[in-house]
Amino acid sequence: MPHQLDALRALTTVVADTGDFDAMQAWQPTDATTNPTLILKAVQQERYRPLLDQVLRDHHTASLSEQLDHLLVAFGREILAIVPGRVSTEVDARLSFDSQTSIERARHIIALYEAAGITRDRVLIKLASTWEGIQAARVLETEGIHCNLTLLFSLPQAIACAQAGVTLISPFVGRIYDWHKKAAGATWDEAAHAGANDPGVQSVTRIYHYFKAYNLGTQIMGASFRNIGQIRALAGCDLLTISPALMAELAASTDPLPARLGADQAKTQAPEWQASNEVAFRTQLNQDAMATEKLAEGIRLFTADALQLDALLGAGRATGP
């Protein structure tokens, strides 16, 4: 009897949500995603400190922003030596409301990968799902630079991404769950909001049904999981990015894991088509308190981690190559 992680692989592309190379080798995901938080956590460990030191030695005269890109690409290159598929590398969250500079940084990151012999089809550029991030992705996709739109919490964000021709979106299951649980306070009933009734699962399911009903080509990758019940409830989604700890939980169970999402089912219950433009996007996002708050919070948190990475690089610069 296969364990649930292997059963999931038969339904969904499994992606590692970690910067830990050892965990990737152990669980053998197809792709891997990184973000400033994961890179910061990794680079503070002795195991990964040589990557930071190498960047400082090789690029000691570069600006902090350039050194940060070199560090992200250094991790990405190591990851691509482990996984057979793609790695997601994030543009600085401080540029989430600056389309043009995001485009320039994405081009720079891709150029660094290509200089190292890695083709752009193995890299996804991560951008926040702000209107500006989505418009940056629209331009990048026309250049063959594939994008992963992150910090996504609502259907209007997802539709705008699809209409921009984005390769992949990462709706955040766990952070949606967190918001609703906090908002409910003492009245929250965990059992009543488990599995398919989880608000984060319901959000991804709505996006999945909409995309499949209208044959939208953008891939959906559920992200930010808090428990394996959320993962099980999304079996059949295009991709799921999962932490090593939750992969271990799935591998410990041999219970059956049926598909919960399927394109055929979505097409029999097609939701109403929604037009998307800047006014509609901003209005609908503003009307969704959860999505508005979690998007802003996510940008702030990733910015704080980018600042900490700057501090680590700055400390290394001060001591010299």
Task: Report the distance separating Cα 177 and Cα 229, nearest Å.
Answer: 12
**Residue written as tokens 């399911």?**
205
Coil vs helix vs strand at 228: helix
Annotated active-site residue 41? The verdict is no
Residue type, 62: A
What is the dihedral angle through the alpha carbons of 190, 209, 299, 56, rounded to the nearest 10 degrees?
110
Enter the tokens of residue 97. 């409301």
Q: Do residues 220 and 157 lie in contact, with contact meaning Cβ atoms separated by under 8 Å?
A: no
Q: Which residues, other chains included, contact 60 with Cβ-Cβ below 8 Å and sequence gap of 6+?
A: 317, 320, 321
The helix (run of H) or strand (run of E) holding residue 134 is helix 131-142
Catalytic residue among 126, 181, 182, 267: 126
Residue 214 phi/psi, 5-degree rounding, is -105, 15
Cα distances (Å, whole numbers) of residue 249 to 19, 50, 170: 19, 31, 22
Alpha-carbon gap, residue 36 to 139, rounded angstroms: 23
Q: State how far the Cα of 237 lies from the Cα of 109, in Å rounded to an integer.
A: 29
As annotated, the active-site residues are 126
